[in-house]
Amino acid sequence: MTLEEVRLAAADNLWSAIAPELILASLALVLLVLEMVLPKRHHGLIPDIASAGILGTLLGLFLNWHPVTLGTETFSGLLQHSVTGQVMRAFFLLAALFTCLLARITLARQPMPRVEFYHVLLVVTAAMMLLVQANHFLMLFVALETLTIGLYILVSYLRTTTASLEAGLKYLVMGALSSGLLLFGIVLLYGVTGNPALPLHSGNAMHYEELGLFLTGNPDNFLASLGIVLVLAGVAFKIGAFPFQVWVPDVYQGAPTPVTAFLAVASKGAGFAVLLALCGPQGPFTPYAWLVMPILTAMAGATILFGNIAALTQHNVKRLIGLSGVAHAGFLLLGVVAAAGSPMAVGAVYFYLFAYLLASFAVFGVMAHVAGTDDAGQELDHYAGLSRQSPFLATVLAVGLGSLAGIPPLAGFMGKLFVFIAAFQAGARWLLLIAAAGVVVSIYYYFGWIKAAFFDAWTPPAETTAPAKPAGTPVGWVAGLSLGTLALASIVLGFYQGPLGQWLMLW
């Protein structure tokens, strides 16, 4: 390749188009430099700098909400910039911001270096932001691997505790398997699309549009079907959908609480953004709807049932929220299924994700405060009497759980409502009934948690000792403000959806 060709290929490398990602990545490097340069007593500043950097990037994103690149492809078609891409960028930045907040609370109790955590978190966030804008399997895989490898580190971050290491190992094995499946699927699709013997074959076979064209021309190719199934399986691992959900409870329990939150929210969001890009209305897999839709439908129903039923018996709150996260993945899959027949489904999924973000971080924020040094052993019993000790935390918890359960007037209810309406429009009626049943089941365990925090349980007689409760962390003003904002946002978004609905093109 001559220099001239390279220059031509790089002609549409618009670096300004990925400025937010670049800022995050350089900030990550700056943090490492700061650790070396700053005297040790000032190391406490580093999390603040990371949070401030994320907040700044978020503000910058809002200020330049309609960049010139919107609606175009850059980097030779590797990336495509759209409004939903902007929304998801904001989604990941918010998730990273709140994860930083949780990390300040949780990591303070652990004998661990702290800087690397923020470093890795920033890199992973940047990778997620690229992932949702990917328009090419190469970009998809590189971004996905960057974030997955970062998450391996984060999951096993508490390297002195066995639970975290075990979680890290499980996540590594499962993650590697899913990456392998995904890669195999991509390779199959690439190979078959590049086959010159087939009509509409393409030299740029990893590009979504070219792939879509090829699949339209070959609507029943066996290798392509196999590739699609494998890609779906790989993505299903990431979102924790049945039957690829086995890793979820252990990893969620063992990972440090902020990482659990990040996994639950950001990683799931990324998975669904990819799924929508591939199987959504304009996605390359649309011609294979005959194959994709039955798989997704079965997956959605099974995921909803499995997640909710398995969560019923949990006493460890991290496992509980992990399994309830599986159930939420099922509800979101319902939205993806509906995307084939309902114009509002895609927006509904994104709205659901936002409501999930607000509610989940509210709940995780409370968990981070209630937990003691044993990060993996957070039990429902620890919440007894929370409403007397800290009415504020109890209220935030109730709002968060209520929103997760989908109780009006909270944002989670609107998310479920939108998804349900979309599902009905798309004719997925049986799935809708399963989902409705799932909501009822979910009430049981969410309400059980609220009950543990609010209602006075039967106290054992004086001679038996009461179960030891961890000391917990008092609520600082930053954390208090953030949690209050999260809870309030869940309420306000339930009453008034305002511009979010328009951005997401709900109507």
Check residue 444 for interaction with other proteins (CB under 8 A): yes
Q: CA 346 to CA 351: how far, in whole Å?
A: 9
Query: Do 368 and 382 form a contact (C-beta atoms < 8 A)?
Result: no
User: Which string of DSSP letters, residue by residue, matches 288-331?
Assistant: GHHHHHHHHHHHHHHHHHHHHHHHHT--BHHHHHHHHHHHHHHH
Helices 19-37, 45-63: crossing angle, 10 deg rounding: 160
Task: Return the number of the residue (221 or 442) whose C-beta is nearest other proteins.
Answer: 442
Q: Which residues between 395 and 414 bind other proteins (CB under 8 A)?
A: 395, 402, 407-409, 413
The contact mask relative to other proteins for 305-344 (x = CB under 8 A, - = no) is ---------------------------------------x
Check residue 470 for interaction with other proteins (CB under 8 A): no
Amino acid code (one letter) for 205: A
Nearest distance in Å: CB 439, other proteins: 6
Check residue 425 for interaction with other proteins (CB under 8 A): yes
Task: Return the number of the residue (25 or 344) whose C-beta is nearest other proteins.
Answer: 344
User: Which string of DSSP letters, residue by residue, matches 176-204?
Assistant: HHHHHHHHHHHHHHHHHHT-TTSTT--SS
Q: Is 132 helix (H, G, I), strand (E, B) or coil?
A: helix
Task: Return the number of the residue (171 or 454) whose C-beta is nearest other proteins.
Answer: 454
Nearest distance in Å: CB 261, other proteins: 25
Q: CA 340 to CA 336: how far, in whole Å?
A: 8
Interface stretch with other proteins, choices 29-37, 296-304, 306-314, 434-442 (CB under 8 A): 434-442
Query: Do 243 and 81 form a contact (C-beta atoms < 8 A)?
Result: no
Nearest to 405 by CA among 444, 353, 370, 349: 444
Interface stretch with other proteins, choices 7-15, 221-229, 298-306, 489-497 (CB under 8 A): 489-497
Nearest distance in Å: CB 490, other proteins: 14
End-to-end C-alpha distance for the chain, whole angstroms = 48
Q: Which of 9, 10, 246, 457 binds other proteins (CB under 8 A)?
A: 457
Neighbours of 158 (CB within 10 A): 23
Check residue 424 for interaction with other proteins (CB under 8 A): yes
Total binding residues toward other proteins, as defined by CB under 8 A: 35
The contact mask relative to other proteins for 199-228 (x = CB under 8 A, - = no) is ------------------------------
- State the residues that interact with other proteins by CB under 8 A: 344, 395, 402, 407-409, 413, 417, 420-421, 424-425, 432-433, 436-437, 439-440, 443-444, 447-448, 451, 454-457, 495-498, 501-502, 506-507
